Amino acid sequence: MDNNKPILYYKGFFNYTIVNKLLKELFELQQSGALNDLMSNKIQIVMVEMLENNYRYTSNKITSFNHAEFFPVFKILNENKFYRLIASNPIQHKDVNKLKGHLDKINDVGLPELRKWYKEILKNEIYSVKQSPGIGLIRIAKVARNKIKYSFQKIDNKFLYYTLEILINKK
């Protein structure tokens, strides 16, 4: 089924409560039979990591943002052979280089190397002071088994519009 209408959609700044609301909508899709358990599980993992990545760059960092057309967006499209998950949000110019380098490195390695890298970070971060071990983007690629597409569109001199896109194969 190719359908341009997203099966899940939200526009606005994300926080923990909004992500929970979207997760409940995903569970409803699963319960209605629109998604099987395995697919729902993969989408859930990728979706949460994408949204947590999304609000990591917006919460506490963006206090005034008046470009409504560049508000954060998350959507899931149901396409023939895969689900397409797309998350966009404003990001400050200063965050771009590090993020782009990280994404390129993730896209440059195959699954075995990705898994090895993921485990190395987990091992090194067990007792770090950071709340999260910083493996979210690696986990997205590892779970989806696909490369991450990304783009940065200039909004103004302070912000860019950052979009992450990942496919989850149905088989």
Partner 1 sequence: MENLYIESTEFTPKIHFDINNRKFELIGTSRPEDVVAFYESIIYKIEMYVNNILHNEKLEDFHFNLLFDLDYMNSASSKYILQILDYFKKLYQKKAKITVDWYYEDVDDQIFEDGEDLSDVIKIPFNLRPRN
Residue closer to partner 1, measured from CB, 87 or 160: 87
CA 59 to chain centre: 15
- What beta strand segments (E) does the chain contain? 8-11, 73-78, 82-92, 149-154, 159-169
- What beta strand segments (E) does 82-142 contain? 82-92
For the beta carbon of residue 166, count every other beta carbon within 10 angstroms: 25
Q: Identify which range of 1-9, 81-89, 122-130, 162-170 contacts partner 1 by CB under 8 A.
A: 122-130
User: Does 81 contact partner 1 by CB under 8 A?
Assistant: no
Residue 79 main-chain phi, psi, to 5 deg: -115, 180
User: Does 44 contact partner 1 by CB under 8 A?
Assistant: yes
Residue closer to partner 1, measured from CB, 160 or 167: 167
Q: Identify which range of 54-62, 71-79, 80-88, 114-122 contacts partner 1 by CB under 8 A.
A: 114-122
Residue 145 main-chain phi, psi, to 5 deg: 60, 30
* Total residues interacting with partner 1, rule: CB under 8 A: 28
One of 3, 11, 12, 20 touching partner 1 (CB under 8 A): 20
Q: In 3-state terms, what secondary structure has residue 160? A: strand
Structure tokens at 100: 């782009």
User: Does 151 contact partner 1 by CB under 8 A?
Assistant: no
Q: How far is the CB of 30 from partner 1 (least distance, A)?
A: 11
Q: Which of these, 168, 6, 160, lies nearest to 96 by C-alpha position?
A: 160
Taking CA atoms, 124 is separated from 97, 102, 155, in Å, by 23, 17, 36
User: Does 82 contact partner 1 by CB under 8 A?
Assistant: no
Q: How far is the CB of 60 from partner 1 (least distance, A)?
A: 15
- Chain residues binding partner 1 by CB under 8 A are 16, 20, 23, 37-38, 41-42, 44-45, 48-49, 52, 115, 118-119, 122-123, 125-128, 131-133, 135-136, 139, 143
